[in-house]
Structure formats: structure tokens, C-alpha cells
Structure 1
Amino acid sequence: MTENPAAAQALVVGGEKICEHVEHLWDLIRFLPIPTDHLVDTREQHKVAHETEPITRAFLYQHARGFSQNQLADRMEKRPILVHCFGLESAPTQQALSDVWGKLGADTREIIEAAGIGLRNTAVENDVIAEALVPTAPSEDEADEEDEDEKKYTRRKSKKTFKLARKHAFPEFESGRTLNWQFDDKQILDMIADICAYEGSAHEEGEHAWITDDDQIAHGSTILRVLKLFGTPDGEDTQLTIDEILDDDRMPDIDRIRDEIMTAFDSSIENVINTIRGDDPFDDRKVTAAIDITHQQFTVYPWQDKAAGIPKPNYPRMVSGYKKDNAYKRGYKYATITLVGDLVPIPLAIEPVKENSNWEEDDAPSYSKAALVERLLDKALQFVDIDEVMFDRGFYSNDVYAAVADRGLTYLSPVPKYEDDYEVIKDIESHPEADAAVKHDVPFGHDGEVHHTAEFLYVPSSSDDDDGKYAVFVTNRDHVEPDEIEAVCNRYSRRWDIENQYKSIKKFLPRTSSTDYRVRLCNFVLATLFYVLWRLTDYLIKRGKGVEIRSPPEITGKTFVRALGEFLRRVD
């Protein structure tokens, strides 16, 4: 018995070294040396289905996560990566786990239990897993937590996750300013969070500081300067104006501005994903993403003399036209890819959008949607293994669908037109009872040849404007049967998560009159980042409470962003 603490401690010490090189709890367990000489397994080894070392890894994971044997069996059944990391041939059942556990020596069980708890603490301390995802022993300050109500619990967890979010996101944004400035980049970002919470502007934030004599808030010009520095290409003079990084057709150097800002955003998203990946909310379910384009309205008129066809000479190049609510408007556009459905609804990537507008010359720059989709997918796939992508009608394009198919993914999208009747369509297979039909193996061309085939699904339109007509969806799923049509089409409603996301992000967007694209893009990226951090915090609170992830938020987005700025400035 005296060797048990030493054996357990040896496992924990080994885990501390491994934490420096891994990002997930299962990898920590995977690379952990197992001292089998100290373990007693009374089973007949030539008959066992699960050998001692791999099953020990499974039990260590169980105790690190605080799972029951039933939860462990369910987790391994749903997540093959765990079975692989532990070195098991297959996922054991709860009964099998119980049988093995009962045949391990009492000292061996004690070593595993103690080591599991020690590895849990080590993983939390080294940010391999978020504290909210594991059971923790109560501290002296938490002695009466059992009696706290839900509001107190939410407040306590929120404060912890504010710090966690700031640790994993803000440090990625660097302005390159010298350290002798009054406010560092993190403090400026705290102020921007305040601006987002109140839908204010950098000017209003600085003006408020001047009126109230608050020396803890930077001048508005300082905040704007930092935003520009976040988007100034590396190696350039930090004093550059936007006009100094325009190319021959007055386009800002979008690729370099985008890469500068998005490198910081991508690193922040990766940190956030790795923080919640301790619970891996992606591996045990179908991962669906949606891609769409949103806009930030720009109200300045583009014409110097519209009747004569003369546009304003210095009108912002990245402003594009769009139609909304049967009115033609103008604005800055951004494309995003976002997890939807049964997952934590967070955006994984952002791309600037530029489309040719009627006040521009015919050959003005315009980004192809296929190229946008390719970039968004490639970024998102760095973080999550996506199964399915959804689009709206505006993305209906052979090139877009080819980009999805080339990456081994399925797509689901409505076709831009409605059909009056599918009975007249050749080679269609209708459902014997339901009012639905499918046309199989429709060829989609790309680069002059058939690239892949897809299924066209016909269902009654739910739009009041097209009552009596049929909505048409296209998907590259393998041979959709008539009795699967309704279920496949109903999945499309999950795409609305991205629309709800845009509504939230726009509530966070700071107001600005600046036409410097570095400011515009950086504002949108930071508003999106605050949205991600809110969703991360909400996720961790729900996990701690055992609440469904898709249930209404535990705290509102506005409350979170306001607290993020105010609370962290007090902490500093």
C-alpha cells in the first residue's frame, strides 16, 4: 500500500511533462507511460478482449473527467478517437468495464483513481482542458457553493471564464507599439468591448472619458490608431494611411490587411476550440456548418452625378451594393462559416467580400463566391472536421459545389427557382404518400467536364409568396430515397443559426464614420470574436449546470460583452 501514492504520483509527474506538447486530454492519456509492473490484473491474459495497459488508459480518462462507467462506455462508443488513443481494439461496454474493474487489484484501482484526479488537476493547470469541464474539489472560498442559487453560480463561473477567454483570445492581437504607451493592447481591447456593449464609437468612448475625467480610458484617436495598427501589414510603416496601401485600381491591399487581422483571429479561434475540445463537442455528432454573407450598411451616396453616370472619385472601393427589404443599399460585406445545428454556434472563419457595383467600371474587382468558399472551408477544416455545408440561394453555383465536393464534404442548398409541378419533370421518383419527389444523379459540370452528380429534392414551398409551388433543394448526398426527402430538407432550417449570429454580431459592431478598411474589417472581426467568447462562456456555464447546449443563453450577449470590458479593467 505504501507504493500506491508513489506510483500515482509518478503518473502525474509524467503527465506534467506531456502537457507541454499536447492540446487534448485524450492525447495526454495516450502518451502517458503506464507502469504495468505496479498494476495487478487478475484476468487470464490470453483470454482478455481488452489488455491491461489500454484499459488502464480508459480508466484514467474516466477518473480525470469524473465520469461513471456508463458515461465512459457511451463516450467511447460515440467517439472512436478515444478508442484509438487508448490503444483499444474496440469500445468496451459498460458491463465489460465493470467486469475488468472488479478484477483489478484493490491497490491498482487506488492508483488509477488517485492518478486520474492528479492528471485532471494537471490538465486544468496547463490549459489542456477547461476547468468548467471537469469536477473540482471545493476550495475554502467555495465551502457553501452547494447552497448557492443559479444566479450566483452563473456569476462565479462567468468571472472565471472572462479571464479564461481573455487569456486565450486577446494576446493574439498585437499593434506593435512600444511598451511605454499608457494603455497596452489588452486594455484597448477591453475598451473596445465596452464600445461594443453600448453600440458606441471610439470617439464617444474618448469623449466620455474627457467629460468624466476618467484617466483609465484612452482618447478616441488612440483607440482608432490601434485598430489601424492591428490591420497594418507586417513590415509596413505603422503610420501608413489607407491611401498608401492602395493598388493601381484604388483597391486596398486586401490580402495583406486580411492576413494580418485574420492571423490574430484564427489563432484566437484555435485557442477557443482547444479550450472546449477537452469535452470535444464535435466528435460524437454530425458537424454541420453554414456559409453566408452579411453586410454593414454604408449610407454615403456613391454618385457625384448619377444622371451623367459620374461616381465620386474617392468612394470606398470595398463598399458593394445589395438588395434588402426590396430596397437597394450599400455596405461593407463579410463572409463567414459558422457551426450550426446541435453544436456550439461559433463562427470559424471570416473573409472580406468585394462585388462589382453599378457605380463602378465594368471590370472593377469582384471576388468569386467559389474562391470565398474555398478559403472559408480550408480555414474551418483546420479546427473542426466538417461533414456538411449549407448555403442560401445566392451561392447556387457549380464552382461553389465543386469546391465542397473536392474536400469530401456534402452540401445542401436551395435552388434559386421554384417549380409549379414536379410531375412534368423527366425521370423523377416521387414519394408514394407524401407530396415530395427526388431526381437522382443530376450531373454538375466544372472545368468543361462532369465533376460530380447531385440529387434534386422537391417539397412544397413554405413561403407565402410561393404558395402552391415546390421548393427545390440540391445535395450531393448519395442517392436520397423518397422517404428521406423530408428529413433532409428539414435539416436546412438549421442554417438559420448563422442569421441569428449576424443579428448578434451587428449588435456588437462599433459605430464609425471611418472609411479606412483596416478599421472596418477589424471592427467586424473583433465584434465576431466577442460573440465567440460569449458563446464559449455560455457553453462552459451550461456544461457546469448540465443544461442543454441549444437551450437559451444563460447570460445575454450584451451583458457578457459589457462585463468583459468593465470586469477585466477592474482586475487589471
Structure 2
Amino acid sequence: MTKQAAEVVDATASAVDLVSHLDLSSYTRDDTYPEWHDSKPFEPMLRTVLLRELEDASDAAVHRTLTNDSSVATALGFDPTDVPDRSTITRARQTRFQGLQTTIEVSVRQIRTLAARRGSPVGAPYTEDASEEPAGSSKRTVNRLIRGKTREVLEELTTVVFPAFDFDRPSGSIYHDEELLRLETLLGVTGTAANGGAETYGDHVNPEPDIADPFFEDGPTGETLLTAIKSLEPSDIADMVNRGLTRVLTRAKPSVEFERPIMLAIDMTYVAYSGEREELVRVQGAPEEKEYDWCHKFATANVVGDNVQFAVAMVPVGNADNHDPEAYPGEDKSHRAGGIVRRLVDIVENRARLSVRRVYADRWFHATDVVAALEERNLFYVIPAKRDDRVKRFIARMGNKVTVKEKHAMHGPVRNGVTNSRAETTLVGLPPDEDYDGRQVFLTNLAVNDEIGLDRRQTRKKIKRYTRRGGIENAYSSVKEFAPWTTSKNFSVRLFHFGFAVLLYDMWLLVDFLVQTSLDIVEFRTKPRVTAPRFRGFLNRRLIELL
């Protein structure tokens, strides 16, 4: 049993995944019940006992799980309408498998040790402090919820999100759009390239193909998918992704506790690019702190609540995307940070129908045009300041206390303005604290003051209220975990892969959120209950079941 378990035990595998993988046919010789006995089948019952021991569960708890979750019953080998009752499980454990008691005990002990070394949740009961689970919940409860919610979300991926996409393909195409999107999902959860992933897809769709069959009997090729993507304009891809994000948010809205109006977090995500840059106008220089020189940039907006965050809008950044270049002064007609902000806010308000009141943007959006864009829309904002010479001088003067500088002037090109338009903001400097060991400076238009100690404490509280969304910047690295591998130079391909990865990222957040609400947990948590690798593992297995 332990050797078989070693094939599947990892950070994502649950105890149900493990026992359903085991081939227990070699132990049937030890069955104390004759073949003619009116009993439940041997192997499913042995898996049930193993599951009980691995999860340290009671017979009643195992029976409830089999009764309430048909997927667990099926995985163990039962007919979901004919599962064993509690007394049957007890008798099997005490009588039917008495001769296997030592084998079961040794195997369970070895598997638990293996699981602990590999960081698997198998055999490691929750404790209230370590897991932050509410009283009365357990690892079994959470795992059952995760499996159930993942099934729900995958169903919604195909029925709610997929219809948001429409490839520009000729009539009579061999593959439906949905099949191409299933392939894209498989590429995202496995991190594989189009051609290699398509082969895996074909292996599952048609595991024993007739060598005389045409290639399409095995499913679409990677080139089929890439050709379909290349036929799309970047603006069409962005529009379809945003339509899909709105549909995911709509699914979550009944349970989401957003402030009204909402707080919006705007971030820039960098996707490394290596290769020739000729005629690739959207390839841009990467920030100095990155380990690569060139990248694609994508701006994203998250709506943030006390108990949840969701990506709700995405736009590509490059060339003259997402702003009116003729509205800006000067010869430089490239993208503008303020234009990106205007576009994202428009998508959130017009498509998602959410009213924005407060914005937190990352440091890339420290720009005169951004301040002007937010002021003209009467939006409150907090933006980390770039360390230019004036900000460095401010830091040198602030000492070790909260410091405020009002009417800090900024100059630069502004929409419908001049090349050196002026905008005013307020600088707020925060000294080191338990969360950050250096001085931080922010641009803001909040009402802040540093006159007395009470004013300084309130100012710190206001800024920190916005910086609670700082976990989003770290979480956004998880978006790339849902993206296929690609070396394509085609921008539509890279944009589509990134946009679809944002959708899968949102589906992950949705599963985590639904699990939390099912457990009556509503506090804001930047650390997910369901890790991204675990969700990808569940999604991958469930997707393959449907192929």
C-alpha cells in the first residue's frame, strides 16, 4: 500500500485521492466473507477503513461523508445510492478485516510519515491555532468542501465563463470553441505548452486511438488552438476576458461583503520576455529590480472587500493601448498610466456595475496623469511614491514619526492638458513598524494630519487601511502559476494566455471564498485556505474526468 501511495502523495493529494488510487485486489484472499455472502464489495470497504484510519475519523463521520458526498462514495468504489451504514463499517473494521489489522496499521503509519515529509494534508488533523478553523470544523470537512466547490466552479467555468469567448473561426470548424477552451484550461493548470498539452489532452480524450483514425479524433492540436487565438485582436481578447471576470464576480456577489462604494486595487503585472524585439511594439523594458530586461505589461484591477478579493478587470499595456493618444500633448503617443486607470475604472463601473470610491494603486502609477484622473472622478486614493530626489529629501526630513506634506506639486503630461501640467497631492511618510522595517511614503488625497499624536495615529490607521490589500501584489504572482508555457512572439497568444490565467486565478479565489463562507468564516484573509497548487491539482483531475 505504501509503495502505491508514494505514486500520488504530494502537497495537493487528499486522503480520498490516495485511497481511490490503491489497487487492493491482492488482499482479497484475506476476505473472511465467502463470495456468496450478502455484503458490500471487499475493496471499497477496505478503502473505507483505510480512509477512516488515515483521517482519524469515527465510523459515523465516514458514513456521513459517504452519504453526503457522492463523489467520495464513487471514488471509493460504491454505488452512491447504496453506501454502507455506520454499523456495517464498524463490523468490517472489527471482524471482516481483523486478519489485516497489522497490515492496515503499518501502512497507515508509513503513509502518514510519507505525507508529512512531502507536505501533504493526509493524516495531519487541523488544530485551531495552526489552521484558523472554527470550532467544530475539521480537515475532513474542509477537504469535502474543497472537492465539492471545485466541482461547482468547474461546471460554472464551462457554463458561465466559456460562453464569454468567441473565436473568429470559419463555419464548419472541426472543434467547437468549448473544446479549445478546455484545452487552454488544461494547459493552464499543468503549466504546459500548447503542443505538449494537446498531446496530453488527446491521451485522455481517446486513450486507445485507432492508428488509421485522422488526427482530430484525439482532440485539437496545439496549433489549432494557437491559430484560433492569433485570429483575435488584442482588444477583443481583453473584452472577452473582462466579460468572463464579470461573470465570475456575479456568481460571488450574493455572498460577498464589499463596502459600498467599493475599494479598487490596481496593479501592474510583468511577464518576462526573451528573444528578438524587432516589430514587437508591446515589448517594454522591465523594472530595475527584475532579473530580466524585457517584458509584457498587463494592468489588473481587484475589487477588495473585508472578506474577499476578486480580479474584475484586465487591460494590456503597450503602445497606445487603452487611452486616446490624440488627447495628450507632445510627440510621445505611447500608453499613459492615467489612461490605464481611466480604462480600468470604466470597466469596473460600466461592465461590473460597481461604484468605485477608493483606489489603491501600485508604485508604477505614481504619475501626474494618474492623480489628475482620480481627482477628476472624485476618487480617494493611496499610491506608494517612487523614490525620486524630492521624495528622498522628504524621507530625510521626516525622522521617526508619521509626517505629512500637503500640496506636494507634480508635473507632467495630462490628458487634455499640456506637457508640464501641474497636479497637487499629499505626501504621507510612515516610519518603520512591525509590518515593514523601512520608511514608506505614499501619495494620497485623504484628509490626513501630523499636528499632534492623535492626528498621526489616525493618519497611520487610514493609510494602513488601504495597505491591507498589499497581499494582492504577492498573490498576483499566483496568476502566472495558471498560465501555459509559451515561447510565442505573437502578442495575442501571450495576452490570451495571461487573460485566461487571470480567469483561472479568479476561479481559485472563488473556490477559496465559497469554502470560507460554508464554514461561516468572513474575516479578510490574505493567505488562502486552498493553496493554488492544491486547487490546480483538484481542477486538473476533475477536468480529466470530464474529457
| TM range, smaller chain | 0.5 to 0.7
Identity %: 24
Q: Structure 1 residue 351: deviation in Å? A: 1.4
Q: Is the 8 A contact 2:274 2:294 kept in 1?
A: yes
Residue in 2 aligned with 1:553?
528
Indicate whether 1:153 and 2:129 are aligned. Answer: no
The correspondence for 1:291, drawn from 263, 266, 282, is 266
Q: Structure 1 residue 141: deviation in Å? A: 10
- Could you tell me the TM-score, scaled by structure 2's length? 0.61
In 2, the alpha carbon distance for the partners of 1:421 and 1:280 equals 40
Number of residue equivalences: 382
In 1, the alpha carbon distance for the partners of 2:370 and 2:220 equals 45
Residue in 2 aligned with 1:403?
373
In 2, the alpha carbon distance for the partners of 1:205 and 1:367 equals 35
Q: Structure 1 residue 210: deviation in Å? A: 6.5
The correspondence for 1:199, drawn from 191, 195, 203, is 191
Residue in 2 aligned with 1:165?
157
The correspondence for 2:462, drawn from 459, 474, 488, is 488
In 2, the alpha carbon distance for the partners of 1:394 and 1:419 equals 17
Q: Is the 8 A contact 2:408 2:427 kept in 1?
A: yes
- The 1:520/1:419 distance shift into structure 2, 3 A limit, reads closer
Q: Structure 1 residue 484: deviation in Å? A: 1.7
- The 1:325/1:437 distance shift into structure 2, 3 A limit, reads closer
The correspondence for 1:440, drawn from 406, 409, 414, is 406
In 2, the alpha carbon distance for the partners of 1:298 and 1:153 equals 39
Q: Is the 8 A contact 1:206 1:220 kept in 2?
A: yes
- The 1:561/1:150 distance shift into structure 2, 3 A limit, reads closer
Q: Is the 8 A contact 2:189 2:539 kept in 1?
A: no
Letter in 1 for 2:343: R
The correspondence for 1:369, drawn from 337, 341, 346, is 337
- The 1:542/1:165 distance shift into structure 2, 3 A limit, reads farther
In 2, the alpha carbon distance for the partners of 1:466 and 1:277 equals 37
- The 1:379/1:283 distance shift into structure 2, 3 A limit, reads same
What do residues 25-52 of structure 1 show as CA deviations (whole Å, max 9, x unaligned)?
A: xxxxxxxxxxxxxxxxxxxxxxxxxxxx
- The 1:466/1:170 distance shift into structure 2, 3 A limit, reads same
Residue in 2 aligned with 1:350?
314
Letter in 1 for 2:339: A
Letter in 2 for 1:471: Q
Indicate the SS of the match to 1:295: strand
Q: Structure 1 residue 502: deviation in Å? A: 2.4
The correspondence for 1:282, drawn from 258, 269, 275, is 258
The correspondence for 1:532, drawn from 474, 483, 506, is 506
In 1, the alpha carbon distance for the partners of 2:477 and 2:258 equals 24
Q: Structure 1 residue 157: deviation in Å? A: 2.9
Indicate whether 1:456 and 2:427 are aligned. Answer: yes
- The 1:197/1:477 distance shift into structure 2, 3 A limit, reads same
Letter in 2 for 1:560: F
Residue in 1 aligned with 2:227?
225
Unaligned runs of 5+ residues in structure 1 are 1-138, 233-256, 303-313, 357-361
In 1, the alpha carbon distance for the partners of 2:395 and 2:146 equals 53
Letter in 1 for 2:337: K
Residue in 2 aligned with 1:110?
none
Q: Is the 8 A contact 1:191 1:565 kept in 2?
A: no
In 2, the alpha carbon distance for the partners of 1:209 and 1:274 equals 30
Q: CA RMSD in A?
A: 3.8
Letter in 2 for 1:477: L
In 1, the alpha carbon distance for the partners of 2:163 and 2:536 equals 17
Say which is worse superposed, 323-332 or 258-267, in terms of deviation: 323-332
In 1, the alpha carbon distance for the partners of 2:190 and 2:402 equals 48
- Could you tell me the TM-score, scaled by structure 1's length? 0.59
Alignment of 1:231-246 (within 5 A): 232=232
Indicate the SS of the match to 2:159: helix
Q: Structure 1 residue 365: deviation in Å? A: 5.6
Letter in 2 for 1:438: V
In 1, the alpha carbon distance for the partners of 2:460 and 2:158 equals 43
Alignment of 1:105-184 (within 5 A): 149-177=141-169, 180-184=172-176
In 2, the alpha carbon distance for the partners of 1:318 and 1:403 equals 23
Residue in 1 aligned with 2:125?
none
In 2, the alpha carbon distance for the partners of 1:545 and 1:144 equals 26
Residue in 2 aligned with 1:391?
361
Indicate the SS of the match to 2:274: coil
Residue in 2 aligned with 1:262?
238
Residue in 1 aligned with 2:442?
473
The correspondence for 2:515, drawn from 541, 544, 568, is 541
What do residues 529-551 of structure 1 show as CA deviations (whole Å, max 9, x unaligned)?
A: 11111111221222112123534
In 1, the alpha carbon distance for the partners of 2:313 and 2:182 equals 22
Residue in 1 aligned with 2:77?
none
Residue in 2 aligned with 1:335?
299
In 1, the alpha carbon distance for the partners of 2:456 and 2:375 equals 23
Alignment of 1:37-52 (within 5 A): none
Residue in 1 aligned with 2:126?
none
- The 1:465/1:549 distance shift into structure 2, 3 A limit, reads closer
Q: Is the 8 A contact 2:310 2:509 kept in 1?
A: yes
Indicate the SS of the match to 2:191: coil
In 2, the alpha carbon distance for the partners of 1:406 and 1:414 equals 20
Q: Structure 1 residue 507: deviation in Å? A: 1.1
